Structure formats: structure tokens, C-alpha cells
């Protein structure tokens, strides 16, 4: 045992024990992707948007562009006009509720398709923001 003092040996042993006991570091995104790819995805919530009457045509164009660009299918649940003040002044507002149509026969979404639905939603919301259009729907 030449070259090592008792203190050096204790430090060496303790660091060896410590490194062997520490848990391996895993990337949380990798863990999430692994879980997402192995299980069937439930149906996402039915999103909705509430906009002023004068913005309806532009918003529907943005909506269908995002759906088409991301190659997802949607079903419009309803398009209801209401005269009220949802925060943008008294007037006519349209509430449009929709759902994404699953890509699997069992009514679930594949991970890739679920990503596409998320991208379509983000693209749609981004186009509305860029145009200065407010979504007055309640936040889920």
C-alpha cells in the first residue's frame, strides 16, 4: 500500500461507494417519449374558441389552414352565435367547439398524430395572435 495514506484510502472508498449508489441520470423528455410511444393515446379535450363576429371569417381560414397544413382531421361540434360581452365589448361573438378525429380504429391517437394535433393547435393560436384576434373562450 505505497503512495496512499489512510485519509486518501477513505476518500477513495467513499467516492467509489457514492458513485455506485447514485441513480443514473435520465433525460425526462426521453422518458416521456418512451411512455407516449408505448401506450394508446386518449382523445384530447375538445378545444373551443370564442371570437368577435367580425373576426369569424379570418379565424375559420386560420383554423382550416392549420388543420390542412398539419394533416389532421377535425369535426366541428358547434358554431354558436351569442350577443354578450366576453371582454371585448358588447356585440356578437361566435363560440366554435371542435374535436380532432383519431387516426386509429380503436378511437385513440398515435403519438405522431397527437403531435400533429398539438402543432395544428399551436399554429392556429399563433396565427390568431399575429392577426391581433383575441380568443374569449374560457381557459381549460
CATH code where residue 71 lies = 3.30.1370
Q: Which domain holds residue 103?
A: 48-131
The answer as to whether 61 is a domain residue is: yes
Residue 77 inside a domain? The answer is yes
- Residue at 101 is within a domain: yes
Q: Is the pTM of this model over 0.85?
A: no
Count CA atoms closer than 13 A to 90's CA, side-chain side.
0
pLDDT tens, position by position, 8-34: 545 445 554 444 444 444 454 544 444
pLDDT-above-70 percentage for the chain: 66
Predicted confidence band of residue 36 (pLDDT cuts 50, 70, 90): very low
Report how far residue 116's alpha carbon sits from residue 72's, in angstroms, rounded to the nearest whole number.
Answer: 7
Element (H, E) at 34: helix 28-38
**Which of 45-54, 117-126, 129-138 comes out lowest in average pLDDT?**
45-54
- Give the 3-state secondary structure percentages of the chain, helix then strand then coil, rounded to 5: 45, 20, 35
Question: Is 104 part of a structural domain of the chain?
Answer: yes
- Has residue 122 been placed in a domain? yes
pLDDT of residue 140: 65
Q: What is the pLDDT of residues 101-124, one digit of tens each?
A: 999 999 999 999 999 999 999 999
What pLDDT does residue 139 have?
A: 77
The total domain count for the chain is: 1
Number of residues that this document lists for the chain: 140
- The answer as to whether 139 is a domain residue is no
By the 8 A CB rule, do 135 and 59 touch?
no
Phi, psi of 37, rounded to the nearest 5 degrees: -75, -20
Q: State the pLDDT at residue 58.
A: 96
Amino acid at each position: 500500500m505505497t503512495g496512499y495514506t489512510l485519509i486518501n484510502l477513505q476518500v477513495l472508498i467513499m467516492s467509489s461507494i457514492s458513485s455506485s449508489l447514485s441513480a443514473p441520470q435520465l433525460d425526462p423528455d426521453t422518458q416521456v417519449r418512451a411512455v407516449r410511444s408505448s401506450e394508446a393515446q386518449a382523445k384530447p379535450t375538445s378545444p373551443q374558441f370564442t371570437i368577435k363576429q367580425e373576426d369569424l371569417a379570418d379565424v375559420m381560414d386560420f383554423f382550416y389552414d392549420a388543420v390542412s397544413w398539419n394533416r389532421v382531421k377535425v369535426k366541428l361540434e358547434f358554431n354558436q352565435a351569442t350577443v354578450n360581452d366576453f371582454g371585448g365589448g358588447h356585440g356578437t361573438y361566435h363560440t366554435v367547439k371542435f374535436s380532432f378525429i383519431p387516426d386509429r380504429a380503436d378511437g385513440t391517437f398515435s403519438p405522431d398524430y397527437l403531435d400533429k394535433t398539438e402543432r395544428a393547435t399551436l399554429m392556429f393560436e399563433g396565427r390568431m395572435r399575429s392577426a391581433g384576434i383575441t380568443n374569449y373562450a374560457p381557459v381549460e
